[in-house]
Amino acid sequence: MKTELECRLTPEEEELVAKREELARLEAQLADQELVLASLKAELAAFEGLYLRRVGVLYAELDEWNALLAELRAEQAGTPEAKAEASEARAHAEEAYSAAHGEAAEVQPFSPTADLRKLYRDAAKRVHPDTATDETDRARRERLMKQVNAAYVAGDEDALRRILADLDTSPDTVQGSGVGADLIRVLRQLKQVRDRRTAIERELVALRGSEIALLQQDVEHARHENRDLLAEIAATVRGKIGVAKREHETRATGVKQRGR
């Protein structure tokens, strides 16, 4: 009599298999979403850099002239209100200068290659903190995910490959045993992944509705009409600088004449 060796799975094991399949599917989707989110952030950061270099610096210059004007008015009027206004205008000008000339203004255009995107997706899938099995694991994954994000935004494919290679040989990748414990871990991972996906969706919606994204859309929209909107804004701000300069000169001359 021919007998076949049957290895039946227990209901727990069957559920574990099904949940692991679901987790794998969701992890792949999560990696895609992380890629979209990281790309959008990098793109907006690059646009912000461009904006600050072309327009932000001009607003900072305008604020500087407005601060000088306010200080001149305070000098002429000598009232506490005028002095408070001048102090506020000076603080505002300093903030604008820091923002326009800070690190954000140095971010360069972002255009990831297909390879970079694939590497990021693979790495994000492997190290995602929301697939952590415990707090120690989460901390390690968060650290790795930061490295992955930094490598992606810097366009550093080699760095991403190194991270992936290290992961392959890392003892940390070994999973624990025991069906019950595994099932609990997988269920927890599933919840974390679902939560993270929801959070990413929310963040994408908010990012796409942010001022910088809307400004970028305006610029793109204008580009299709062969217009350089950033140049137009810059011209407008330059005009305002001209008005502020003239007013400052007029007031300064007045002060000198009265002083004679």
Partner 1 sequence: MADKTELLRLPKSDSTSLILSEAGASLIARGRREASSLLLRKKEPLCLATAKLNGKWGYIDQIGNFIVEPRFDEAFPFSSGFAAVRCGEKWTFVDKTGQRAFGTDFDGCAPFSEGLAGVKVGTKWGFIDEGGKQVVRPLFDQVKGFSGGVSGVEILAADRRKWGFIDTTGNFIADAQFDQINEFSEGLCGIELADRWGFIDRSGRFAVRPTLTYSFGYFSEGLADATDESCSGYIDRNGDFLITMECEDSDIFRGGLARVKINGRWGFIDKTGKIVIAPRFEETARFNRGIAGAMLDEKWGYIDATGKYVIDPQFDEVDSLNGFRYGLTSVKLGEKWGFIDRAGRFVIAPRFDYSEFDLINGFRCGLIAVRIEGKWGYLDSTGSQFISPQFEDALAFTETDAPSISDDWI
Six token digits for residue 196: 């993270």
Asked if residue 79 binds partner 1 (CB under 8 A), the reply is no
Name the token pair of 130.
């929301």
DSSP 56: I
What span, in angstroms and rounded, lies between the C-alpha atoms of 14 and 101?
59
The answer to whether residue 159 forms part of the interface with partner 1 (CB under 8 A) is no
Nearer Cβ to partner 1 (42/74): 42
For position 56 contacting partner 1 by CB under 8 A, the verdict is yes
Binding mask 82-111 for partner 1 (x = CB under 8 A): -------------xx-xxx-xxx--x----
Q: Is 26 in the site for partner 1 (CB under 8 A)?
A: no
Residues contacting partner 1: total by CB under 8 A = 57
Indicate whether 45 belongs to the interface with partner 1 (CB under 8 A): yes
Q: Quote the CA–CA distance of 150 and 107 in Å, as a whole number.
A: 13
Please report how close the Cβ of residue 260 comes to partner 1 at its closest, in angstroms: 20
Buried b (16+ CB within 10 A) or exposed e, 10-38: eeeeeebeebeeebeebbeebbebbbebb
Distance from C-alpha of 74 to C-alpha of 90, rounded to nearest angstrom = 12
| 16 versus 30: smaller Cβ distance to partner 1 | 30
184 or 198: CB nearest partner 1: 198
Contacts of 88 (CB under 8 A, 6+ apart): 70
Contacts of 127 (CB under 8 A, 6+ apart): 141, 144, 145, 148, 163, 167
Binding residues vs partner 1 (CB under 8 A): 34, 38, 41-42, 44-45, 48, 51-52, 55-56, 59-60, 95-96, 98-100, 102-104, 107, 129, 142, 145-146, 149-150, 152-153, 196, 199, 202-203, 206-207, 210-212, 214-215, 218-219, 221-222, 227, 229, 232-233, 236-237, 239-240, 242-243, 246, 250
